Amino acid sequence: MITKTFEVRDKGTFIPVLAVSMETDNETDRFIIGRGGFGKSVQEQAKYVILINLVNFISTYDHYNWNSETLTVAHAHIIQHFHDMNTGDVIDVEYIMGLSETQKISERI
């Protein structure tokens, strides 16, 4: 499994999240993850990214399960681009949705 942290940002919003890709090259992990319903092969398991909101610890692997447009859009983006992103990256929902021409920078800068 691969874990990364991100800043999910929206208008007036900062949500720290932990993303866990279910992809693994460890056979024991792959077996257990498969028993959890995430497929048996590396390719099947790589399709799943569990997102954990670090404020309230609510988590899901299905981006449609969020009761928040911000997290729905951010989670879908993370699933699609997980391997191209670095831990600590800003997920700017306004930018993703085309509502802003410039992407927000990290609050840590």
Q: Is residue 109 part of a domain?
A: no
Residues in the chain: 109
For 15-73, write each residue's pLDDT tens digit: 999 999 999 889 999 999 999 999 988 889 989 999 999 999 999 999 999 999 999 99
Q: Is residue 38 part of a domain?
A: yes
Q: Is residue 39 part of a domain?
A: yes
Tell me which residue range forms the domain holding 11. 2-96
Q: Is residue 75 part of a domain?
A: yes
Half-sphere exposure in the Cβ direction for 11 (13 Å, CA): 7
Determine how β-strand 90-92 pairs with β-strand 2-10. Answer: parallel
Q: Is residue 107 part of a domain?
A: no
Report DSSP letters for 32-100, one per residue.
Answer: HHHHTTS-SSHHHHTT-EEEEETTT--EES-GGG-S-HHHHHHHHHHHHHGGG--TT-EEEHHHHTTS-
pTM of the model: 0.90
Q: Is residue 57 part of a domain?
A: yes
For 69-97, write each residue's pLDDT tens digit: 999 999 999 999 999 999 999 999 999 99
Q: Is residue 90 part of a domain?
A: yes
Overall number of domains in the chain: 1
